[in-house]
């Protein structure tokens, strides 16, 4: 049953996080009122749980005034208008939603109509999936309009363009973090003792995580200072030493930036596929492959339940979370991070959620809800 207080909490958080963008938001990018967003979200939540010809629809709904010239800046985006506006109702949207590709288009709500009406579709060409993973250094993105992204039954994201601001999933609101591999303890730990460019490492890891999410298998990536640093705590079933981007650093310096980008994509996709084998993938901080199918030997670890700090979106410690709240894959990763100094563990769940952890001052520090960053 749909609980309106949970929807209102989601809308409140969307408003709060969206408004933190401050001067980056233009007038045409402002959010509608909370009452309107709540009404829209309640309709979308019902539609998300309905099948059309055996399938659940995934689609986006955006908010843009009919007289707005905001799209003039997007030469690849086109606003198409229905001859007759479509009522924004559960039954009508259920039939219309399959027409929308959420990677390329929006249904448009014109807020001047009461009751709310769908007035058209914004169709755009986008290379977002390649930009987000570093495959392209520049490209086309969907218009940066506030929108709701209906992902799956009971799951909705509040977005700006493709970027998720907050997520709602069956009663829980989650704030996405885009800074974990840029400016947190995790990025500091990855940089320590590494000669790899931090931006290139971030693009590589983003590509790996994005591909792992597509496989819907889940997986773990263990990043260590050296193979020797974790020797007593892992069993590497498939040892497969490989330099970063398949080449030594001298060879990489000699190749062109375009070729290097292609090699990064190829290497990242190769690493991501290894996560589908049972066990973790083991990398050095310079992203050199040690092996995969790695078993974490928790029976060799003295600390059964390490001291934990789960970091909230505002960087405070979330006192409500516990080590025992997590599944086997997560718990073994936390114990590994505790035992292996200087390591970083990334755990990807089957539902696509990403966590990263490392040890600081005797505590395993965990960052949740890592989002893919678009620079």
Q: Give the closest residue to 282 by CA, choosing from 348, 230, 213, 212.
A: 230
pLDDT tens digits for the chain (375 residues)?
557 889 999 999 999 988 887 777 888 889 999 999 999 999 999 999 998 878 899 999 998 887 788 888 888 889 999 999 999 999 999 999 999 999 889 999 987 778 899 999 999 877 656 655 555 555 567 888 999 999 999 999 999 988 888 999 888 888 888 889 998 999 999 999 999 999 999 989 988 998 898 888 889 999 999 999 999 999 999 999 999 988 876 677 777 888 888 888 899 999 999 999 999 999 999 999 999 999 999 999 988 899 999 998 889 999 989 999 988 999 999 999 999 999 999 999 887 789 999 999 999 999 998 886 545
Range list of β-strands (E), 125-248: 146-152, 155-160, 163-169, 172-175, 219-224, 234-242
Question: Looking at residue 351, what is its pLDDT?
Answer: 78
Say what the pLDDT of residue 19 is: 85
Asked if 139 contacts 125 with a C-beta cutoff of 8 angstroms, the reply is no
Check residue 330 and give its pLDDT: 95
- 3-state SS class at 331: helix
Neighbour count for residue 219 (Cβ, 10 Å):
26
Q: Identify the CA nearest to 103 among candidates 214, 266, 268, 215.
A: 214
Nearest partner of 331 among 301, 292, 362, 352, judged by Cα? 301
Phi, psi values for residue 27, rounded to 5°:
-60, -40
CATH topology of domain 180-367: YojJ-like (1 (3.40.1700)
Question: What separation in angstroms does the CA of 75 have from each of 61, 109, 123, 124?
Answer: 20, 21, 11, 9
- Residue 243 CA to residue 224 CA, distance in Å, equals 15
Backbone angle region of 60, left / alpha / beta, with phi > 0 → left and psi within -120 to 50 → alpha: beta
Q: CA–CA separation, 351 vs 172, rounded Å?
A: 14
Distance separating alpha carbons of residues 179 and 373, to the nearest angstrom: 8
Residue with tokens 């973790």: 280
| 359 phi and psi angles, rounded to 5 deg | -105, 140
The interaxial angle of helices 4-19 and 34-48, nearest 10 deg, is 120
**pLDDT score recorded for residue 131:** 57
Residue spans in the chain of domains classed CATH 3.40.1700.10 = 180-367
Q: Report the alpha-carbon distance of residue 306 to residue 303 in Å, rounded.
A: 6
Q: Over 61-98, what HEC string results?
A: EEECCCCCCHHHHCCCEEEEEEEEEEECCHHHHHHHHH
pLDDT for 129? 62
């Amino acid at each position: 049953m749909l609980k309106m207080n949970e929807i209102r909490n989601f809308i409140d958080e969307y408003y709060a996080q969206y408004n933190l963008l401050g001067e980056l938001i233009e007038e045409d990018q402002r959010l509608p009122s909370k009452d309107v967003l709540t009404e829209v979200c309640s309709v979308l939540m019902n539609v998300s749980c309905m099948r059309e010809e055996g399938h659940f629809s995934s689609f986006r709904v955006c908010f843009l005034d009919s007289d707005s010239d905001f799209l003039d800046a997007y030469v690849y985006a086109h606003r198409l208008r229905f001859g007759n506006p479509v009522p924004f109702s559960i039954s009508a949207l259920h039939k219309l939603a399959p027409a929308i590709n959420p990677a390329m288009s929006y249904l448009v709500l014109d807020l001047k109509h009461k009751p709310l009406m769908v007035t058209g579709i914004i169709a755009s060409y986008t290379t977002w999936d390649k930009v987000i993973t570093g495959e392209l250094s520049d490209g086309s993105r969907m218009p940066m309009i506030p929108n709701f992204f209906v992902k799956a039954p009971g799951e909705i994201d509040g977005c700006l363009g493709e970027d998720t601001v907050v997520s709602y999933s069956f009663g829980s609101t989650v704030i996405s973090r885009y800074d974990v591999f840029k400016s947190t303890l995790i990025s500091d730990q990855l940089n320590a003792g590494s000669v790899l460019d931090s931006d290139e490492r971030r693009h590589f890891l983003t590509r790996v995580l994005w591909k792992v999410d597509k496989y819907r298998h889940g997986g773990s990536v263990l990043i260590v200072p050296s193979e020797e640093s974790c020797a007593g705590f892992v069993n590497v079933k498939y040892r497969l030493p490989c330099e970063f981007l398949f080449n030594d650093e001298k060879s990489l310096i000699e190749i062109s930036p375009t070729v290097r980008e292609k090699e990064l994509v190829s290497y990242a996709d190769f690493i991501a596929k290894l996560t589908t084998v049972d066990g973790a993938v083991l990398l050095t901080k310079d992203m050199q492959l040690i092996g995969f199918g790695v078993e974490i030997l928790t029976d060799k670890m003295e600390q059964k339940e390490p001291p934990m700090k789960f970091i909230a979106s505002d960087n405070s410690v979330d006192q409500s979370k516990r080590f025992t709240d997590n599944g086997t894959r997560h718990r073994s990763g936390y114990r590994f991070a505790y035992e292996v100094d200087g390591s970083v563990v990334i755990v990807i769940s089957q539902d696509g959620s990403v966590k990263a952890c490392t040890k600081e001052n005797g505590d395993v520090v965990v960052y949740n809800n890592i989002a893919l960053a678009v620079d």
